[in-house]
């Protein structure tokens, strides 16, 4: 989707010289949107694990550094020749039946608890 945005805008920039400032603002908007999404997901993981394990809360800086180092190594692995295979594994095994079964079990448990209480 972002590829389409940049392809359309690059064609517009080449035809209009004054459009470069709008493109700069658009690029900054996409950059901040991506960074915000990335930090939001990471903060959810950091908060959940810090609440579960108090040792991680005391050494938050080290924990965040280790987490982002793991992110970096995963990113490097995806950039290699076998990266498309890793992405395929994440797509097939990370979001298919496992997620569906987890959501189904969660729905059953929540409906049982609320049905039991009323």
Render 96-110 in DSSP notation, one character per residue: SHHHHHHHHHHHHHH
Average confidence (pLDDT) over 62-83: 91
- CB 86, CB 94: distance < 8 Å: no
pLDDT exceeds cutoff 80 at 74: yes
> What pLDDT band is residue 59 in, cutting at 50, 70 and 90?
very high
37 is in an annotated binding site: yes
Total domains in the chain come to 2
How far is the C-alpha of 101 from the C-alpha of 93, rounded, in Å? 12
Residue 100 is labelled as binding a ligand: no
pLDDT tens figures, 13-36: 666 666 777 778 878 888 888 777
The whole-angstrom distance between residue 108's C-alpha and the CA centroid of its chain comes to 28
DSSP one-letter code for 59: T
Q: Are 30 and 57 within one domain?
A: yes
Q: Are residues 69 and 22 in the same domain?
A: yes
pTM of full prediction above 0.75: no
> What number is the average pLDDT over the span 100-117?
83
Residue with tokens 């608890």: 113
Give the residue numbers spanning the domain of 61: 1-79
Does 36 show up as a binding residue in the annotation?
Answer: yes
What pLDDT score was predicted for residue 37? 77
């Amino acid at each position: 989707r972002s590829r389409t945005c940049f392809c359309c805008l690059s064609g517009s920039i080449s035809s209009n010289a004054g459009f470069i400032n709008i493109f700069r603002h658009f690029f900054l908007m996409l950059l901040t949107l991506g960074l915000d999404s990335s930090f939001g997901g990471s903060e959810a993981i950091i908060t959940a694990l810090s609440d579960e394990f108090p040792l991680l809360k005391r050494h938050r800086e080290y924990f965040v550094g280790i987490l982002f180092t793991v992110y970096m190594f995963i990113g490097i692995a995806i950039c290699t020749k076998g990266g498309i295979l890793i992405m395929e594994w994440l797509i097939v095994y990370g979001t298919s039946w496992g997620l569906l079964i987890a959501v189904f079990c969660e729905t059953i448990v929540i409906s049982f608890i609320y049905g039991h209480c009323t």
